[in-house]
Structure 1
Amino acid sequence: MAEPEQPSTARMIDFWLGGEHHYPVDVAAARAFEGAYGPCAAIFRDLRAFLGRAVAAIADAGVDGFLVLGAGLPTRGNVHEVATAASVLYTDVDPVTVRLGQQILADNDRAGYGYGDATDIGTLDRAQLHRFVPGWGRRPVGVVFLGLAAFLDDATLARTLEEIYEAVSPGSFLAFDFDSEELAGYPEALAMMGPQFRMRDPASFGPLLGRWTPTRDGIVAVSRWRVDGVPAAVPDAFHGGLAVKPAG
């Protein structure tokens, strides 16, 4: 694949996570953002650790099929590397990310990658969905919805989460996060995120989930969600948790 001319958030995160699937243009963009807001690597490693704990909790509940929306790159402790007995479908809207993800997973028969717009699950390839999330619509599945809420207005986010809720079976889980107002004090970094980026007061997070019911852990800074030992010393840039579609 030819080296891209524009940076990608997915590849910038791969760089911050210590991965190998990024290009000089991504490193330059990541360094520029670090100059405006420093602790990017620590924050995204903490968010990836939260993803790992959330996915492990879903798998421990007996779920063996996952749909990952806005997935980025399927590396560095992503879903199939945590829930090793499960099958996983990663999706994204960026064609470069999709192609790279397909290359990474080319030899994996339990994980696939395809195009999918998180705000319209009708765009998912049905054959891929039923191959890699075989219980879709019939038994509980895990849906990973990280890094997306900040780029959706309230109405779109509510509609999207309701559409997912309607599509999955009772007992299904949603792993989610929200961006706090951390970047409000860093105007240069905030400008880099673009006009679609939405920070939210943590008090507003719960109502945005609609009919999804958070587990008793609630919605907390991801560094403190079911963490063993002392939470990572990082800013509370992301809050998140697990929610479930109740049975019955």
Structure 2
Amino acid sequence: MDDPAAPSTARMIDFWLGGEHHFPVDVAAAHAFEGAYGPCAPVFRDLRAFLGRAVRAIAAQGVESFLVFGGGVPTMGNVHEAAPEARVLYTDVDPVTIRLGQQILAGSDRAGYGFGDATDLGTIDPAQLHRFVPGWGRSPVGVVFLGLAAFLDDPTLARTLDELYQATAPGSLLAIDFDTEELAGWPAALAMMGPAFRMRSPTAFRPLLGRWTPTADGIVPVATWRPDGPPAEVPDAFHGGLAVRADD
């Protein structure tokens, strides 16, 4: 695959996680951001650990398939590695990351990768959805919606989550996070995120979930969400949790 001309947040995260699926342009962008903010690897390793705990919690409820939006690079403890018995469809909108994901998962019969825009469910290939998320709309599934809220304005995020609620079966679970206002303390880094970037307080985020009901854990700093041990000492950059699609 030819090196892309533009960096990708997904591949920058792969670099910070210690993965092998990124390009020089991603490394350069990661170093530039760290120059304005500070070390990012601990933050994103903690965020990936949260993903693993959330996915395992969903699987423990008997959920056997997952639909992942903004899937990024499917390595370093991503969804199908956290729940190896599950079926997983990763989706993204970046063509380079999609091709990379398809190469990585080429030998898998339980995980696939394709184009999918979370704000338009009709963009997902129905054949892929049927193959890798066979219970979609009929039985509970896991929806992974991490790293996306910050790039959607409030009306779009609320509409998107409501459409996901309507499309899933009762008992489905949503793993979600959002960027807190912590980055406001780093104006040079914040400027690098672009005009579409949205920071939110917990009180501002909660109404956007609509009919999705957070579990008893609440929406909390990701380091403190069901930690396996003492919570990691990292900046309070992300909050997240699980929310349930209740019976109609």
Matching of residue 5 in structure 1 with residue 5 in structure 2:
yes
Map 1:185-200 → 2, pairs under 5 A: 185-200=185-200
User: Could you say what secondary structure the match of 2:106 adopts?
Assistant: coil
Map 1:1-248 → 2, pairs under 5 A: 1-248=1-248
Question: How many pairs align?
Answer: 248
TM-superposed deviation, 1:39 = 2.8
Q: Which runs of 4+ in 1 moved over 6 A?
A: none
Structure 1 counterpart of 2:47, one-letter code: L
State the alpha-carbon separation in 1 of the partners of residues 35 and 235 from structure 2: 16
State the alpha-carbon separation in 1 of the partners of residues 131 and 39 from structure 2: 39
User: Could you say what secondary structure the match of 2:216 adopts?
Assistant: coil
Q: TM-score of the superposition, structure 2-length normalised?
A: 0.99
Structure 2 counterpart of 1:188, one-letter code: A
TM-superposed deviation, 1:246 = 1.1
State the alpha-carbon separation in 1 of the partners of residues 96 and 4 from structure 2: 8
Structure 1 counterpart of 2:149, one-letter code: A
User: Could you say what secondary structure the match of 1:155 adopts?
Assistant: helix
TM-superposed deviation, 1:5 = 1.6
TM-superposed deviation, 1:208 = 0.9
State the alpha-carbon separation in 2 of the partners of residues 203 and 49 from structure 1: 24
User: Could you say what secondary structure the match of 2:205 adopts?
Assistant: helix
Structure 1 counterpart of 2:6, one-letter code: Q
Structure 1 counterpart of 2:44, one-letter code: F
State the alpha-carbon separation in 1 of the partners of residues 119 and 50 from structure 2: 23
User: Could you say what secondary structure the match of 1:58 adopts?
Assistant: helix
User: Could you say what secondary structure the match of 1:26 adopts?
Assistant: helix
Q: Deviations 1:193-248 (Å, cap 9, x if unpaired)?
A: 00000011121121110000000000000000000221000011000000000135
Q: TM-score of the superposition, structure 1-length normalised?
A: 0.99
User: Could you say what secondary structure the match of 1:211 adopts?
Assistant: coil
Give me the CA root mean square deviation.
0.7
Structure 1 counterpart of 2:100, one-letter code: L
User: Could you say what secondary structure the match of 2:26 adopts?
Assistant: helix
State the alpha-carbon separation in 1 of the partners of residues 38 and 77 from structure 2: 23
Stretches of structure 2 lacking an aligned partner (at least 5 in a row)? none
Identity of aligned residues (%): 77
Stretches of structure 1 lacking an aligned partner (at least 5 in a row)? none
Structure 1 counterpart of 2:141, one-letter code: V
